[in-house]
Structure 1
Amino acid sequence: MSVVGDDPVGPSAWAVERFGRRAGRLAAAIPAQLASAHARAHEVHLAARLKKRSPYGATLAEAVRENFADMARELGEDVRDVRGYEYAVINDHALFPFKYADRPRPLDRARLAADASPTRRRMLLGHGPQAQDALFPLDEDLTTEDYEDLHRTFDELGAATRLVCVFFTADPESGIHAIHWGQARLEPDRTFTWLYSEQLPVAPQPLG
């Protein structure tokens, strides 16, 4: 089954600037891929039969990355392995999916978790709209090995690659609530400043 759709309305100028002729197909395909990933995660959630510590979130995150990678391959674009995780890269822009809440919440309330992986932080700092002198900020809590990992992440994704953030909210029962994509800068307090964002429609998502 094809994972790439068409956008009947037409992509924004911002999307065309970043993705070129792929922009419309991406804008249509991303909601469908999130819906498909939710369906997979929902099945795992039901099978686990857990009221707490459901595997839904972790399964959803991995399924979204896999679906985006498959989408990129179908488009004839790149997929890059970053510390064991595949990321879709279209026209030198990497899609960075992030579920920022498990209930409907405004985009300006998004916040990176305190225990977020160094790889995620590195991707946001090194490939987001940051000043070059902020790529490798000094942090007394990071060891030499941590810094080496951060530099490897930078090399694996590609020095010229920029992030396009795909932020969404979801829960096991209701599915995907909202989807936003755009350019976001990670701030020291783990909030995000959006230089540009637009909302994508939510695709139909069957629940088991």
Structure 2
Amino acid sequence: MRHMKLGGLVTGGYMSQGAVRGADGPSDWARRTFGEHARALVRTVPDRLAHAHERARASHLVARLDNHSPYGLTLAQAVLEEFAEAVTGLGGSVRVLGGRPYSILQGRALFPFRYANKPTPLGKARLRADVSQRKRRMLTAHSPEPDTLFPVEELTTTKEYKELHEAFEELGQQTTLVSVFYTSDVTHGVHAIHWGEAHLEPDRTFSWLHSESLPTAGG
């Protein structure tokens, strides 16, 4: 599928950009992706992110640190655990990769990513330079559409290219990611939630075959 790049956001042909799903039920994309579980996930993802925020906020308050707050690290783990509990309840499975639980439903793994600590457009999402190789590989090898926008010769080496595109046995060779991108901070909670099919580009930005917004809990 041909992509267009709009202010850093790459869109696919059937994406309804800017639409907020949830109040009116799951989108056609969500139904195609998760089948009968789509409606439950549209409700559950925002609620579970809110629960994870509260857990992370509690750790921040206990630590009483102005700098190096445990909020971010706690939040990352709490979101994975919250999603795992929710997906297990829907009949999905949980697979551990690098000591972290990833939720699998309908052949799709939920990949949560907090891309900013303040309200920020999705098109500005960028992976940190120091992110683990494991996350890079997940976002590349398990991408729903792994075709890069950049010529292959612009990648570093053939060996690195092959390693990044090798699927994890722990997740399943055919498992693809549904990315759940969100922003939050310790004071205001979760500001925005986007989910869809994202692919990591060599410059650490993201291209999207599909993305849509979900309402925040109580929003």
Q: Same fold judged by TM-score > 0.5?
A: yes
CA RMSD of aligned residues (A): 2.3
If the length of structure 1 is used for normalisation, what is the TM-score? Answer: 0.85
Tell me the matched-pair count: 191
1:33 equivalenced with 2:48 (yes/no): yes
Alpha-carbon distance in 2 for matches of 1:43, 1:177: 18
Q: Which residue in the other structure is 1:154 paired with?
A: 168
Letter in structure 1 aligned against 2:70: P
After superposition, the C-alpha distances for 1:51-90 in whole angstroms (9 at most, x for unaligned) are 1110000000000000000011111111111121110111
**Structure 1 residues not aligned, in runs of 5+:** 1-6
The correspondence of residues 81-100 of structure 1 with structure 2, limited to 5 A, is 81-100=96-115
After superposition, the C-alpha distances for 1:106-148 in whole angstroms (9 at most, x for unaligned) are 000000010111111010000012049x8xx764896xxxx5x
Alpha-carbon distance in 2 for matches of 1:141, 1:47: 45
Alpha-carbon distance in 1 for matches of 2:191, 2:25: 22
Q: Which residue in the other structure is 1:3 paired with?
A: none
Alpha-carbon distance in 1 for matches of 2:202, 2:111: 19
1:184 equivalenced with 2:177 (yes/no): no
Do 1:176 and 1:202's aligned partners in 2 also have CA atoms closer than 8 Å?
A: yes
1:10 equivalenced with 2:19 (yes/no): no
Letter in structure 2 aligned against 1:67: E
Q: Which residue in the other structure is 2:189 paired with?
A: 175
Letter in structure 2 aligned against 1:95: L
Letter in structure 1 aligned against 2:199: R
1:104 pairs, out of 119, 131, 154, with 119
The correspondence of residues 114-153 of structure 1 with structure 2, limited to 5 A, is 114-128=129-143, 129-131=145-147, 139=157, 147=163, 151=166
Q: Which residue in the other structure is 2:209 paired with?
A: 195
The correspondence of residues 54-65 of structure 1 with structure 2, limited to 5 A, is 54-65=69-80
Letter in structure 1 aligned against 2:111: F
After superposition, the C-alpha distances for 1:137-195 in whole angstroms (9 at most, x for unaligned) are 764896xxxx5x985x6111111101000000000000000000001111110000111
Alpha-carbon distance in 1 for matches of 2:181, 2:96: 20
Alpha-carbon distance in 2 for matches of 1:169, 1:66: 18
Alpha-carbon distance in 2 for matches of 1:124, 1:182: 13
Deviation (angstroms), 1:8: 5.6
Alpha-carbon distance in 2 for matches of 1:130, 1:140: 16
Do 1:119 and 1:150's aligned partners in 2 also have CA atoms closer than 8 Å?
A: no
Return the structure number with greater relative CO, CA threshold 8 A, min gap 6. Answer: 2
Q: Which residue in the other structure is 1:50 paired with?
A: 65
Q: Secondary structure at the match of 1:155?
A: coil
Alpha-carbon distance in 1 for matches of 2:79, 2:159: 31
Alpha-carbon distance in 2 for matches of 1:182, 1:169: 15
Do 2:140 and 2:165's aligned partners in 1 also have CA atoms closer than 8 Å?
A: no
Alpha-carbon distance in 1 for matches of 2:104, 2:127: 22
Which structure has more helix as a fraction of its residues? 1
If the length of structure 2 is used for normalisation, what is the TM-score? Answer: 0.81
Letter in structure 2 aligned against 1:100: Y
Alpha-carbon distance in 1 for matches of 2:138, 2:77: 17
